[in-house]
Structure 1
Amino acid sequence: MNIEEFIKYCKEGNPVSSIDKELSPFLHECAQNAIKTCMEINNSYHTPEEVRKLFEKLTGENIDESFTCFPPFYSDFGRNIKIGKNVFFNCGCSFQDRGGITIGDNSIIAAGALVNKDVPSNVIVGGVPAKIIKNL
């Protein structure tokens, strides 16, 4: 298995344990890449376009131009995040995305939210863990 096969394996929803000797190195590599990219996002000013490009680097996915994030932002894996159109992340959000997270179109992630599961379209979520606060 290589890193791209591992990421595909994770995106398919397969369980990964840090004690699995075959998969653990890939898990560690993805986590370290997420930490590195989140540090890039968080530690200096970036234009909205630059933030979007850093999120593309983090997720390995194309991110719509309508996406906005106010850093800081944190992720434990990064490669299992899918972001819809017209999505806003307020400051201090954390994503635990090893199992995969999809953020639906027109949704808002409130400041300080801990997102650990999918967020449907047209909602505001907040809290730890994040729950729907309001339908839009």
Structure 2
Amino acid sequence: MKSAKEKMIAGELFLDMGGELFQERQHAKKLLHEFNLMDPTKVKARNQIIKKLFGKTGNRFFVEPPFRCDYGYNIEIGENFYSNYNLVILDGAKVIIGDNVMIAPNVSLFTAAHPIDPKLRTEGWEFSKPITIGNQVWIGGNTVINPGVSIGDNSVIGSGSVVTKDIPANVVAVGNPCRVIRSILPEGNVE
């Protein structure tokens, strides 16, 4: 029989009854408390906490505090990653972020979801779906990325977007719900 953690990572419905998953979230909160309250000049010490917390990091990254996540171990970031203030990642499933990604303030990545059925929701059932963000992606401020979404290489997500479906590579997408508004040409210009 699978544990709640195994079901969560597999994207299956699970009940979190306050056991292993609760303890892992508490561990992450403890590290994040230290990270978020640390002297702003202690960049190397903050980066050590992120390396301890995340499943994988590149050599060059900068996470601006405050930052919040559920577990941390499901988060992978590539080289030259930058996130501005108030990034929230609910990482019940994998969140894989490529190289040269920039994230503006107040962005939220949610792998966690709950059933539509009100009875199941009231009972506390939940599930998680992974999020993948390609290389050279820029995500504008106040954007929400929902469970199961992939964003292709070189794409730009405009500020205030709610990304509910996959976004292909080499496009500018914006809105609620987020939709493609134009392509990005190979030279980096937009159509």
Fold in common (TM above 0.5) = yes
2:62 to 64, 68, 77: 68
**Alpha carbons 1:10, 1:99 under 8 Å: kept:** no
Matched residues in 1 for 2:50 and 2:143: separation? Answer: 22
Whole-angstrom distance in 2 between the partners of 1:107 and 1:76: 21
**Structure 1: runs of 5 or more not aligned:** none
Matched, 1:121 2:118: no
Is the contact made by 1:88 and 1:108 (CA closer than 8 Å) also made in structure 2?
Answer: yes
Could you tell me the TM-score, scaled by structure 2's length? 0.57
Alignment root-mean-square deviation, CA: 2.7
Higher relative contact order (CA 8 A, sep 6+): 1
More helix by share: 1
> What is the aligned partner in structure 2 of residue 39 from structure 1?
33
Ranges in structure 2 where 5+ consecutive residues have no aligned partner: 111-130, 146-150, 152-156, 159-171, 173-183
Q: TM-score, normalised by structure 1?
A: 0.78
Distance 1:55-1:6 versus aligned 2 partners, 3 A rule: farther
Structure 1 distance, partners of 2:46, 2:86, is: 14
Give 3-state SS (helix, strand or coil) of 2:133's partner.
coil
Contact 1:10/1:80, CA 8 A, preserved across alignment: no
- Deviation string, structure 1 residues 5-38 (Cα, Å, up to 9, x no partner): 987x47953436234x5xx511111111111111
